[in-house]
């Protein structure tokens, strides 16, 4: 039986007087306990290190390590164990010192068995109570962390799309002006202008940077619905084909093989194709980037009663453990300035949760990565 629910397991009885100890042990056994016995402090500590002990009934007066020192050693190494001290009736001060050192309580000898049984039961109750408290604390902190994470992503999302909107206008103006300047500088009378080359280079840099900034705002705004999103029948396989078509050049350059593991007729859902296309695009983009020449990408889908589950799996470089917690953060990228914005997965995360789905990632360094998306089928 699971020790946790067995109220009377893990009891240790420590006393150097053999006769007294065995008599008490016998009585406790009659009342349903199964006490382990030790005749001194050292033995007691040895047993605790070996067995899973929850409650110790400990004699204070023993040769060798004293009861109080044994108690201190127990509480230091195993704070969850509850210790009931047995003291001589003239040595009340021992009991008080024991309480100060963390004992659950003390009883004076001669011990009345019912009294002892009561104390032991109370000690077990205390342990269960502490455990429940601990579990609640852990549960709450887990929940809080999850809430903080989602909240952080949501508010970052709102902020960044706001900024993206604001930046798009000046970007367009810069781009237009750069184009205008380019036009002027390529006019025939400009051939005489000695700084022409430098100016041209400058304009090219402006255009390149505008392009990158545009890529960022475009990705950030990519998940903002252009119009009220329209749900319709979405064929996943068709969307995969469409997206692969857009990536044809990269797939050809790297000679990437695509494996299909798509359940026939089990890839249709009632959802927003625009958003799902964006999800697939961003994930495929990453997979293509992650694999070496001749890499393999596996696309799979299956269904459960309520959901469609699809996976995009690559045999690429994998994601280091320390990065797994960050990949969905906006602007987290391990790619170069030209290659990455760090927004792809942030947007994917946002879209998937907007569609009431779930995303999971499983990655092995140098072996590959698998993103698993679960979306509600949406059909009744």
Ligand X SMILES: Nc1ncnc2c1ncn2[C@@H]1O[C@H](COP(=O)(O)OP(=O)(O)O)[C@@H](O)[C@H]1O
Q: Which residues contact ligand X (rule: CB under 6 A)?
A: 282, 286-287, 290, 314, 316-319, 327, 332-335, 340-346, 369
Q: Smallest distance, Å, CB 366 to ligand X?
A: 10
Indicate the residue whose CB is closest to ligand X.
344
Residue with tokens 């309480």: 99
96 phi/psi in degrees, rounded to 5: -65, -40
Radius of gyration of the chain (CA): 35
Q: Smallest distance, Å, CB 299 to ligand X?
A: 13
What are 134's two structure tokens?
A: 């601990």
User: Are 105 and 84 in contact, with CB atoms under 8 Å apart?
Assistant: yes
The helix, strand and coil proportions of the chain, stated in percent and rounded to the nearest 5, come to 55, 20, 30
Q: Decide if residue 286 touches Mg ion (CB under 5 A).
A: yes
Contact range with Mg ion by CB under 5 A, out of 109-117, 172-180, 189-197, 284-292? 284-292
Nearest to 371 by CA among 299, 291, 272, 321: 299
Q: Smallest distance, Å, CB 345 to Mg ion?
A: 6
Q: Find which of ligand X, Mg ion, none residue 341 binds, CB within 5 to 8 Å per kind.
A: ligand X
Q: Smallest distance, Å, CB 357 to ligand X?
A: 17
Pairing of strands 307-314, 296-303: antiparallel
Q: Distance between CA 178 and CA 35 in Å, rounded?
A: 87
Nearest to 347 by CA among 288, 277, 282, 285: 282
Q: Find which of Mg ion, ligand X, none residue 38 binds, CB within 5 to 8 Å per kind.
A: none
137 phi/psi in degrees, rounded to 5: -60, -45
Q: Smallest distance, Å, CB 286 to Mg ion?
A: 4
Q: Which is nearer to Mg ion, 35 or 344 (CB)?
A: 344
Q: Smallest distance, Å, CB 328 to Mg ion?
A: 11
Q: Which is nearer to Mg ion, 21 or 223 (CB)?
A: 223
Q: Find which of ligand X, Mg ion, none residue 301 binds, CB within 5 to 8 Å per kind.
A: none
Q: Distance between CA 289 and CA 318 in Å, rounded?
A: 11
Q: Which is nearer to ligand X, 87 or 315 (CB)?
A: 315
Q: Decide if residue 344 touches Mg ion (CB under 5 A).
A: yes
Q: Give the three-state DSSP class for 229.
A: coil
Q: Which is nearer to ligand X, 26 or 321 (CB)?
A: 321
Q: Find which of Mg ion, ligand X, none residue 88 binds, CB within 5 to 8 Å per kind.
A: none
For the residues of 213-234, what is the DSSP string, one character each?
A: HHHHHHHHHHTS-SSS---EEE
Q: Which is nearer to ligand X, 39 or 286 (CB)?
A: 286
Q: Smallest distance, Å, CB 335 to ligand X?
A: 4
Nearest to 36 by CA among 88, 79, 21: 21
Question: Can you give the binding site for Mg ion, defined by CB under 5 A?
Answer: 286, 344
């Amino acid at each position: 039986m699971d020790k946790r629910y067995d109220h009377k397991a893990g009891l240790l009885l420590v006393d150097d007087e053999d006769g007294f100890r065995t008599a008490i042990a016998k009585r406790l056994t009659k009342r349903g306990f199964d006490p382990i016995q030790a005749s001194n402090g050292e033995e007691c500590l040895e047993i605790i290190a070996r067995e899973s002990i929850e409650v110790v009934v400990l004699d204070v007066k023993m040769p060798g390590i004293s009861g109080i020192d044994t108690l201190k050693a127990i509480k230091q190494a195993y704070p969850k164990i509850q210790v009931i001290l047995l003291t001589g009736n003239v040595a009340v001060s021992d009991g008080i010192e024991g309480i100060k050192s963390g004992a659950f309580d003390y009883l004076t000898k001669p011990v009345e068995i019912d009294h002892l049984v009561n104390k032991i039961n109370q000690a077990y109750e205390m342990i269960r109570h502490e455990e429940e408290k601990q579990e609640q604390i852990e549960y709450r902190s887990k929940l809080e962390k999850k809430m903080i994470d989602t909240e952080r992503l949501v508010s970052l999302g709102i902020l960044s799309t706001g900024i993206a909107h604001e930046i798009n206008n000046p970007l367009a103006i810069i781009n237009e002006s750069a184009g205008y300047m380019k036009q002027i500088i390529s006019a025939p009378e400009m051939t005489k202008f000695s700084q022409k080359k430098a100016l041209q280079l400058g304009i090219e840099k402006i255009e390149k940077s505008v392009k990158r900034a545009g890529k960022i705002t475009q990705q950030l705004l990519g998940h903002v619905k252009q119009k009220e999103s329209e749900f319709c029948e979405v064929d996943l396989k068709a969307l995969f084909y469409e997206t692969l078509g857009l990536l044809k050049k990269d797939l050809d350059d790297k000679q990437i093989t695509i494996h299909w593991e798509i359940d026939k007729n089990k890839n249709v859902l009632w959802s927003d194709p625009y958003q799902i296309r964006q999800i697939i695009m961003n994930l495929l983009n990453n997979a293509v980037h992650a694999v070496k020449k001749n890499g393999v990408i596996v696309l799979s889908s299956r269904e459960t009663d309520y959901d469609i589950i699809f996976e995009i799996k690559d045999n690429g470089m994998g994601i280091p453990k320390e990065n797994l917690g960050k990949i969905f953060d906006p602007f987290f990228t391990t790619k170069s300035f030209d290659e990455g914005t760090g927004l792809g997965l942030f947007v994917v995360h946002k879209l998937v949760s907007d569609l009431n789905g779930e995303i999971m990632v499983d990655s092995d360094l140098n072996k590959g990565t698998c993103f698993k998306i679960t979306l509600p089928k949406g059909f009744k």
